[in-house]
Structure formats: C-alpha cells, structure tokens
Amino acid sequence: MIEFQNLKKVYESGGQQVAALNGIDLKINKGEIFGVIGFSGAGKSSLIRCVNLLERPTSGSVIVDGHDLTSMSVKEVRGIKKNIGMVFQHFNLLNSKTVFANVAMPLTLAKVSKDAIKKRVQELLEFVGLADKADYYPDQLSGGQKQRIGIARALATQPSILLCDEATSALDPQTTSSILQLLKKINKEYNITILIITHEMAVIREICDRVAVIESGKIIEEGTVFNVFSSPKTETAKNFVSSVMNDQIPDSIKNIIQKHDGMQKVYRINFVGSTAGQPLLSELAKQFEIHINVLFGTITELQGTPFGNLIVEFQGSDKEIIRALTYINQKKISIKEVTAHAS
C-alpha cells in the first residue's frame, strides 16, 4: 500500500520557486495496478520518485506499507527500498555487465549467497522469457528485451511494490503491449502492487484498475479506469480519454450533420456494460415510427466491460422521436443530442 498525504515538492530554480507537487493526497491499495497520467511537467515523475525517495518531498508524507518514509533515517529507507522495485523509461541497465549480472545486482548488493543468486536469477529470466540471454550484454538486446531485463532486476528482491516510470514510453506499440501483459502477469501471480506513471492513455486502458489524472502538481480526477473513461469530468481527462477512445466525430460526418442541420436529429448514444448487449436500435425501429441511420461508432472494452459509443441520426416526426428518447432514457442509456458545432 502506498499513501501520499498532502505531498508537496518545491524546486529552487534560478532563485524562483517551482512547485512540482502541490498537495497530493492519494491512496494506492495493495495488489492493484494504479496509473497516474499527465502531460510532461505535470509532476507525475516527481510523484513516483517520492515513493522511494529518489526525490525528497518538501513537505507531506509518503507512507509505504505503514512506514512513513519521510521520518525514517537514510539507512532505514535503504532497507525499505529492497521492497520497492523500479522500472525506468530508458531501462538504466549496466552496459558493462551481462544480463545475468544486471539481474543479480540487487541481490549482490544485499549480499545474498552466490548459489541463491544463481537460482533466483535463472528463475527471473525464465519468468520474463529471456533465459537464453543470460550471457548477453544489454547492447546486444532490443528495447523490449532490455525492459524485460529491467523488470527482472526490479523483481529480484521479491518486492511488494513495483514502480514503473514511463516504462513503455521508449518502446513501439507492439512491444509496449507485450511489456504491459508481463506487468499484468506479475500483478496476478505475485500480487505485487504496481504504480504506473505514463502519458499514454492506452497504457492505462490496457492494464490499470484505477487511474488518477495529474495536472500542475495536483490530482484533478481519480477513479476506476471504467468510470474515468466512460465519463471523464475534467477537460484534461476528456482529452486523454479521446486520445484513445476514438469518440470524436470525424470531419466527414460533421459535414453531413452541418449540411442537414435542423432537418434531422443526431444523437450520441453511450452503451455501458450489459446495455451494450441489448438490440436497442432495432427495438426503436420496430416500436416507433422512425428511421435510424448510424453515422459513426466505436465499441471498445474497458476492464473487461464493453463500452460503446454510437453517433446516430433519427429521421421521423418530432413526436415519434421524443417518444423514442423517453424509451431510451427509461432504459438508463446515456443519450445526448449532437449539434453541428459540438463534438
């Protein structure tokens, strides 16, 4: 478990004070995958680096598994760090050492016996699928392989927390996906709490349970991935969501709406969970005197729940359309009218 209490971090830069973290209150539960998303400079990097005190907060507390790190001695913190693995954007492997020696490093530092190290490293390399690369050097590996080694190294001391600082940002989409699957597997098999910092909403959608949006050093929105994706509240969250949800109406469709503006009614319907399984449109067409024209739509899966977004045009008399809308509302399906200027 990780808890931030009124966490602040102020940098001194050229006589000016810059607040990177401006009072963060956040609780990350044991065993969950928690994502923090924000634009560059929002403070997300400072936040994750406070969890293992790579950066010391200016004020506030960082509580890890019940220990307040800010009140501990340097030596005590070093001990706690063995319980917190960290994976980096640029892998940060030692180029002068073999894959084996890199993964073994945290154990060597902890003065574990040679035999035990050998066994554990073998196990870890098998887990990340690179058992045959033990004697390679990092510069002989691809980015994805390097990150797997970084992950194996982070897991060496059997931590209960794994911090991922933009762990997939230097990788191509396919490799990103395979690394995310590996993180998911770690979370499931070892019940390790994972905190992920990213600027890619796709990463959050793919593996996170909960998400927080950070802006100007503050958490501006927080919730389950499903809730934040299906109904983002802040402008920033909406931007992030639309970056992966593909729910913006394309220009060609907008042109059609514009041309006929006033002559027809265009609506956005959001299906969530079980409602996505109902044959709503055909029911509407049968029960009411209207024609339905689907202009645009996407259906994605969020945390195992289907989430649909349809832009439809209803053609018919106002009276029939209003009846149809009432019917939809009774079903507790979200529907909003789209005008030519809206998105």
Partner 1 sequence: MLVNSEQIISALIETVQMVAFSLLFSTILGLPLGILLVVTRKGHLLQNLPVFNVLNGIVNIFRSVPFIILLVAMIPVTRLIVGTSIGTAAAVVPLVFYAGPYIARLIENSLLEVDPGVIEAAEAMGATPWQIISKFLIPEALSSLVLALTIATIGLVGASAMAGAVGGGGIGDLAITYGYQRFDTVTMMITVGILIVIVQGLQSFGNIAAKKIRRR
d(CA 244, CA 300): 10
Window contacting partner 1 (CB under 8 A); options: 83-91, 188-196, 236-244, 274-282:
83-91
> How far does the chain reach from its first CA to its final CA, in angstroms?
40
Q: Quick one: residue 129, left, alpha or beta (phi over 0 = left, psi -120 to 50 = alpha)?
A: left
Cβ proximity to partner 1: between 130 and 163 the closer is 163
Task: Report the nearest approach of partner 1 to the CB of residue 157 (Å).
Answer: 8
Task: Report the nearest approach of partner 1 to the CB of residue 20 (Å).
Answer: 15
Taking each helix axis from N to C terminus, what angle separates 143-155 and 114-127, rounded to the nearest 10 degrees? 130
Q: Within 13 Å and on the Cβ side, how many CA atoms surround 114?
A: 0
Q: Which residues contact 57 (CB under 8 A, 6 or more apart)?
A: 7, 8, 9, 21, 50, 70
Cβ proximity to partner 1: between 84 and 194 the closer is 84
d(CA 279, CA 62): 49
Which 59-78 residues touch partner 1, going by CB under 8 A?
77-78
13 binds partner 1 (CB under 8 A): no
Which 217-246 residues touch partner 1, going by CB under 8 A?
none
Binding mask 85-104 for partner 1 (x = CB under 8 A): -x-x-xxxxxxxx-------
d(CA 328, CA 337): 13
Binding partner 1 by CB under 8 A: which of 35, 38, 57, 106? 106
Task: Report the nearest approach of partner 1 to the CB of residue 231 (Å).
Answer: 36
Cβ proximity to partner 1: between 22 and 157 the closer is 157
228: tokens are 């934040």
Cβ proximity to partner 1: between 84 and 272 the closer is 84
Which 41-60 residues touch partner 1, going by CB under 8 A?
52, 54
Binding partner 1 by CB under 8 A: which of 36, 42, 84, 194? 84
Q: Which residues share a beta bridge with 316?
A: 290
Q: Within 13 Å and on the Cβ side, how many CA atoms surround 298?
A: 12
Cβ proximity to partner 1: between 153 and 268 the closer is 153
Give the interface size with partner 1 as a residue count (CB under 8 A).
28
Which 159-198 residues touch partner 1, going by CB under 8 A?
163
d(CA 337, CA 202): 28
134 binds partner 1 (CB under 8 A): no
Cβ proximity to partner 1: between 52 and 176 the closer is 52
Cβ proximity to partner 1: between 52 and 145 the closer is 52
**Residue 31, Cβ density class (10 Å: 0-12 exposed, 13-18 middle, ≥19 buried):** middle
**Residues 317-334, buried b or exposed e (16+ Cβ, 10 A)?**
eeebbebbbeebeeeebe
Please report, as ranges, the residues that interact with partner 1 according to CB under 8 A.
52, 54, 77-82, 84, 86, 88, 90-97, 105-106, 108-109, 137, 139, 153, 157, 163
